A and B are shown apart, each in its own frame.
Chain A
């Protein structure tokens, strides 16, 4: 009987692997295009024609900067921090372009993708950037922890993020946002929350964008968090371990009775 079992198992593993390899052969030699690279690596901070957010709008950037400069800032941004254009941008946005680990080949693809978007005669002048008005930090907190739902059905921030300095011991899947406001400022926070083009978030908030009021309330929460420190002690995961020990205690008593 053992032999029958083993051969069945071997067969099942063989077929699982065979099916997997077959379906994979369809997708082999799959290289990423400039557009795919852009949507993975760049969109969390840049738009193309959507205005400045965390970093500058890249509409028409290939006409504004030369190719070598663009390759360099994508591939090795830390190597020329003293460049005057970069210093100006760092001062303006308060953050520097991070090293994303992209190769020169990938940079060229991204630049080719960007070069399809020529600068339009500028209709939206920079002066028209909306006035940033902060909302109520308490409403921001209720939205963050999910007591108030987002109008368009997006998940509450607390599922993955904490703001420990505001006393919110939230999720640890993603970054603690205590210093978000200090890093990005009004405009950066506003832009980041409006676009939400970050890994994972860009998909789960697609079609569930935050409204302007919600962004304003959250921005107020982040501002408050950057100015105060109301960190609270965290009972989790200790609370889980305690419940576990209680369960083991019950099992011990029961075992004594039946064993």
Chain B
């Protein structure tokens, strides 16, 4: 029954929430709907948290998506066993970056002025992403080669969800850590329209061509500080 909950009920509930609440909030009150930057309050931990987290997770997430969209092409690529090991090594390193980043981001929220501006939803967001990083890295190390078995278990199950004919046999016998990873992923989707996860929907592609922002600090120092990473919603 837990399997039905994780692999059928939760995904559909999450997709429904994301599909229906997102446009509702978009048109209702867009102004209180933001990733609420805290970059002005604290920068050092933000760099070591946000940069590893985002570089890690964006590429890993893209990998999940590519495997889902083109399973047979990816299977052909992975038929080169040395290439599989190389790609898995890169994926593991990205997973570790995401893990370290999410831990630092969580620690950053526990003290000082950043804590004062932290809401419940920020904690939920951080705990959910930490869960994804921990379970993902755990599988990378102890249940390899996930890149390959994902194509033959999770992917056909996801397609069965899309065709409204859920086949949980593909995934229901996989270990608990996989179920935690899946449950976490769909919880993220479920809370997306209510939390700062909404920044998924605003692809920050313009950042790539923006010049770095120039901050002038009024009190502390005269030196010009160029910040490579900026937040803009």
Residues of chain A at the chain B interface (Cβ within 8 Å):
1-2, 4-6, 8-9, 12-13, 15-16, 19-20, 23-24, 27-28, 30, 145-147, 149, 155-156, 158-160, 170-173, 199-200, 202-204, 235-237, 239-244, 246-248, 251, 254-255, 258-259
Within the complex, what minimum Cβ distance (angstroms) separates A159 from chain B?
Answer: 4
Query: Which of B60-68, B127-135, B187-195 faces chain A?
Result: B187-195
> B91-122 interface mask toward A, CB cutoff 8 Å, 1 = contact, 0 = none?
11101110010000000000000000001110
Compute the total of residue contacts between A and B using a CB distance below 8 Å: 163
Contact partner of A243 (CB less than 8 A), chosen from B48, B93, B156, B191, is B93
| Shortest Cβ gap from B50 to chain A (Å) | 11
A213 to B74, CA, bound (A): 26
- Nearest chain A CB to B94 CB, angstrom units: 8
With A9-B124, A259-B44 as given contacts, are A236 and B144 in contact (CB-CB < 8 Å)?
yes
Inter-chain contact A240/B90, CB cutoff 8 Å: yes
Query: Would you call B10 and A20 a contact (CB within 8 A)?
Result: yes
Q: How far is A255 from B226 in the complex, measured between Cα atoms in Å?
A: 11
Selected contact of B145 from candidates A6, A158, A251, CB within 8 Å: A158
The residue from B8, B16, B21, B93 contacting A240, defined by CB atoms under 8 A apart: B93
- By the criterion CB–CB under 8 Å, are A171 and B195 in contact? no
Query: Pick the contact of A146 from B120, B141, B142, B148 — CB < 8 Å?
Result: B148
Contacting residue for B151 out of A155, A199, A235, A255, CB 8 A: A155
- Tell me, in angstroms, the Cα distance from A237 to B88 when the chains sit together: 9
Q: A146: nearest residue on chain B (CB-CB)? A: B79
Q: Hey, which chain A residues are within 8 Å of B152, CB to CB? A: 155, 159, 204
Q: How far is the CA of A16 from the CA of B141 in the complex (A)?
A: 33
Which of B13, B51, B75, B97 interacts with A19 by CB under 8 Å? B13
- Bound together, the chains give a CA A145 to CA B84 distance in angstroms of 10
User: Does chain A have a CB within 8 A of B19?
Assistant: no
Closest to A206 in B: B169
Task: Give the residues in chain A near B43, CB-CB below 8 Å.
Answer: 259
B-side interface size class = 35 or more
Residues of the A chain whose Cβ atoms lie less than 8 Å from the Cβ of B84: 146, 158
- Residues of chain A contacted by B145 (CB below 8 angstroms): 158-160, 170-171
Interface of A is mostly: helix
B residues within 8 A CB of A200?
Answer: 153, 170, 173-174
Kindly state whether residue B52 has any CB partner on chain A within 8 Å.
yes
List chain A residues, Cβ under 8 A from B149. Answer: 155, 159-160, 171, 173
Return A237 CB to nearest CB of chain B, in Å. 5
Which among A12, A24, A149 is the interface contact of B4 at CB below 8 angstroms? Answer: A24
Assembled-state Cα–Cα distance A224/B6 (Å):
42
Q: Given A12-B190, A24-B4, check contact A237 B141 (CB 8 Å).
A: yes
Given A28-B1, A159-B148, A258-B226, 11 more pairs with CB closer than 8 A: A9-B121, A12-B193, A147-B79, A159-B145, A160-B145, A200-B153, A204-B170, A235-B89, A236-B144, A240-B96, A258-B228
Contact B81 A237 (CB under 8 A): no
Q: How far is the CB of A214 from chain B (nearest CB, A)?
A: 15
B5 touching A24 by the CB < 8 A rule? Answer: yes
Q: Are B32 and A4 in contact (CB under 8 A)?
A: yes
How far apart sit A214 and B51, CA to CA, in the bound complex (Å)?
A: 47
Q: Which of B51, B153, B227 contacts A204 (CB 8 A)?
A: B153
**Is B143 located at the chain interface by the 8 A CB criterion?**
yes
- Given A6-B120, A20-B9, A20-B10, verify A243-B195 contact (CB < 8 Å): no
Which A residues lie within 8 Å of B52 (CB)? 247-248, 251
In the complex, the answer to whether A146 meets B144 with C-beta atoms within 8 Å is: no
